[in-house]
């Protein structure tokens, strides 16, 4: 089977947990050089960590986006996106836009703690920079994009790594061991941003820790902790019907960015479940690509996104998603439910905080 033919066991409805996948072939992406199974970190008693990098055929070094898969911190594969999306098409969109895409495996919760997962993402960013010349990448134009658990890990690594004086204990020394870990921009999709209000998730992530230790770890490993006025621009996207990842986490991340003066844009996808099921997934891909293309070109946001950010445009044809832009913060409380003023975000009591495990949502939405 070619990976492009991989589909969910059933197109609609639940299915049992996937404990294996059929034999599959992986062809290089069209119009790209595909570097597969690069070992970006190894040693220390853990398995070699692999990365694929797909580089468009362009005359100049290409900007690159590190895609970090979801999977509830305990599942997932660098080569796969949510099964309902179809495989390879998402990565091909990057190449067709003239942007390289790297996809990395990282250690999972049965292998290593969250602290190690974050260090793996940092190691992947550093690897891309160390070998930018060999891979035909632009080392000064590196961004991250993750979904669900992957958005938690990638945004945390990127925000911590973009600080003027990064904490070496957060970044670690895996792989190439040192070097820049800052990024040009961050795309955050329906993940976790403030673990201090997710006690069940913290219990899952740090099962052997004491409650006091979990309190400290939750703050230390929350992306909101590392926001600064000079943080890289954020595009935050979340479906307003997500029953897996609390929508409140998107609000908290955006409001925390606004509070410190960091550039942030929150896009609410109406009617979308986790993984944007129920919405046009290609439109969501394009929104993220347009955002990053604008940053790589040296701007804050692409023209299309700026046109949609006008809060006065409510026609679905003119702007198919509700948009909150920090530049339009005043008077925009109606743009998403539960919106609070910066620094005064209330917990979402209408949506239970749940642990994102594959078994809880097979057939509804991959994490």
Distances (CA, A) of 316 to 240, 285, 354: 16, 18, 32
Q: Band of the pLDDT at 205, cuts 50, 70, 90? A: very high
Rounded average pLDDT over 8-29? 86
Q: Please give the model's pTM, rounded to 2 decimal places.
A: 0.85
Pairwise CA distance, residues 159 & 157, whole Å:
6
For residue 216, what are the contacts with CB-CB under 8 A and spacing of at least 6? none
Pairwise CA distance, residues 106 & 68, whole Å:
9
222 within 8 A of 253, measured Cβ to Cβ: no
Pairwise CA distance, residues 367 & 358, whole Å:
7
For residue 88, what are the contacts with CB-CB under 8 A and spacing of at least 6? 3, 4, 29
CB under 8 Å, gap of 24 or more: what pairs does 286-290 form?
A: 286/93, 287/235, 287/237, 287/321, 288/145, 288/187, 288/189, 288/235, 288/237, 289/93, 289/94, 289/97, 289/99
Query: What phi and psi, each to the nearest 5 degrees, are found at residue 84?
Result: -70, -20
Q: Band of the pLDDT at 10, cuts 50, 70, 90? A: confident
Rounded average pLDDT over 40-50? 94
- Per-residue pLDDT tens over the stretch 139-188: 999 999 999 999 999 999 999 999 999 999 999 999 999 999 999 999 99
Distances (CA, A) of 306 to 69, 76, 313, 318, 329: 28, 34, 12, 12, 14
CA-nearest of 301, 280, 282 to 292 is 301
Rounded average pLDDT over 187-197? 98
CA-nearest of 291, 289, 300 to 94 is 289
265 within 8 A of 324, measured Cβ to Cβ: yes
Pairwise CA distance, residues 232 & 234, whole Å:
6
Q: Helices marked H in 100-240 — which ranges?
A: 114-130, 132-135, 149-161, 168-171, 199-205, 211-220
- Provide, rounded to the nearest whole percent, the portion of the chain with pLDDT above 90: 77
pLDDT of residue 324: 54
- Per-residue pLDDT tens over the stretch 256-275: 999 999 999 999 999 999 99
- Per-residue pLDDT tens over the stretch 303-352: 333 333 322 232 333 333 445 544 323 222 223 333 333 333 333 333 33
**Helix H or strand E segment including 89:** helix 89-96
Q: Is the pLDDT of residue 111 over 80?
A: yes
Pairwise CA distance, residues 294 & 300, whole Å:
6
Pairwise CA distance, residues 219 & 226, whole Å:
10
Q: Of residues 332 and 189, which shows the higher confidence score?
A: 189
* Encoded tokens for 70: 């979801």
């Amino acid at each position: 089977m070619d990976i492009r033919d991989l589909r969910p066991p059933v197109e609609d409805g639940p299915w049992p947990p996937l404990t294996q996948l059929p034999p599959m072939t992986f062809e290089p992406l069209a119009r790209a050089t595909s570097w597969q199974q690069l070992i970006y970190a190894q040693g220390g008693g853990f398995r070699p960590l692999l990365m694929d990098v797909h580089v468009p055929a362009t005359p100049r070094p290409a900007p690159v986006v590190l895609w970090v898969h979801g999977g509830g911190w305990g599942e997932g594969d660098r080569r796969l996106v949510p099964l309902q999306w179809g495989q390879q098409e998402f990565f091909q969109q990057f190449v067709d836009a003239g942007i390289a895409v790297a996809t990395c495996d990282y250690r999972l919760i049965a292998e290593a703690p969250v602290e190690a997962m974050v260090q793996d993402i940092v190691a992947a960013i550093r690897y891309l920079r160390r070998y930018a010349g060999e891979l035909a990448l632009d080392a000064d134009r590196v961004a991250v994009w993750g979904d669900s658990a992957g958005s938690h890990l990638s945004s945390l690594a990127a925000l911590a790594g973009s600080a003027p004086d990064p904490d070496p204990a957060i970044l670690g020394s895996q792989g190439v061991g040192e070097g820049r870990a800052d990024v040009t921009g961050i795309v955050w999709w329906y993940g976790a941003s403030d673990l201090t209000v997710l006690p069940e998730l913290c219990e899952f992530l740090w099962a052997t820790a004491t409650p006091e230790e979990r309190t400290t770890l939750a703050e230390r490993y929350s992306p909101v902790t590392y926001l600064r006025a000079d943080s890289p621009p954020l595009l935050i996207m979340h479906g307003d019907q997500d029953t897996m990842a609390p929508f409140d986490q998107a609000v908290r991340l955006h409001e925390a960015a606004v509070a410190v003066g960091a550039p942030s844009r929150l896009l609410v996808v109406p009617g979308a479940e986790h993984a944007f099921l129920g919405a046009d997934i290609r439109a969501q891909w394009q929104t993220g690509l347009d955002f990053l293309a604008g940053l790589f070109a040296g701007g804050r946001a692409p023209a299309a996104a700026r046109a949609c950010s006008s809060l006065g445009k409510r026609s679905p044809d003119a702007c198919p998603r509700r948009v909150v832009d920090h530049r339009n913060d005043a008077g925009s409380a109606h743009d998403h439910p539960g919106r609070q003023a910066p620094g005064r975000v209330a917990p979402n009591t209408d949506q239970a905080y749940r642990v994102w495990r594959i078994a809880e949502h097979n057939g509804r939405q991959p994490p």
